[in-house]
Amino acid sequence: MRSLARGLVAGAAGTVALNLSTYGDMLVRGRPASSMPAEVADRLADRAGVELGEEQQKSSREQAAGALLGYLTGLGVGAAYGMLSGRRARVPALVAGPLLGAAAMAGSDAPATALGVTDPRRWSGGAWLSDIAPHLAYGVVTAAVHRALR
C-alpha cells in the first residue's frame, strides 16, 4: 500500500508541474488552451452513450471531463510507477523522469489519436514542444517526489 500511496502522491505532484508548465507556456506565448482533452471527453461520452447536455452545459462538462481525464492519467502513471518501483531496482532519476513523461504523454495522446481527435504525424515542431515540455516536467517531478518519499 505504501508503494501505491507514494506513487499517487508523486503523480499528483507531477500533474501540478505539468499544469504549471502548460499554463506558464500559455501565459508567455499567449496561446489558447488545447481543445483536445474536451474533444476526447466528447468522443468517449458519445461512444458510451452518455448525454452531456445542451450547448453551454455540454461544453462545460466536456472541459471538466477532459481535465479530470488528465488528472486520472497523471495519478495513474504515478500509481503504476509506485507499484512497479517497489518491486524492481531503482531506476536512475535521469532515466525515470523522461520515461514517466513519455508514459503520461502516451496516456493522453494515444487515446486522442485512436479516437481521431488528433494526428501527431501532422503536428508542427511547436505543437510537439508544447506537448513534450510539460510531460517532461511531469516525469521529472514525479520521479523526484517519488525518490524523496522513499
What's the pTM? 0.93
Residue-wise pLDDT tens digits, 38-70 = 999 999 999 999 999 999 999 999 999 999 999
Q: Assess whether pLDDT exceeds 80 at residue 77.
A: yes
Contacts 24+ apart (CB under 8 A), 131-136: 131/105, 132/101, 132/105, 133/21, 133/25, 134/17, 134/18, 134/19, 134/21, 134/22, 134/25, 135/18, 135/101, 135/102, 135/104, 135/105, 136/97, 136/98, 136/101
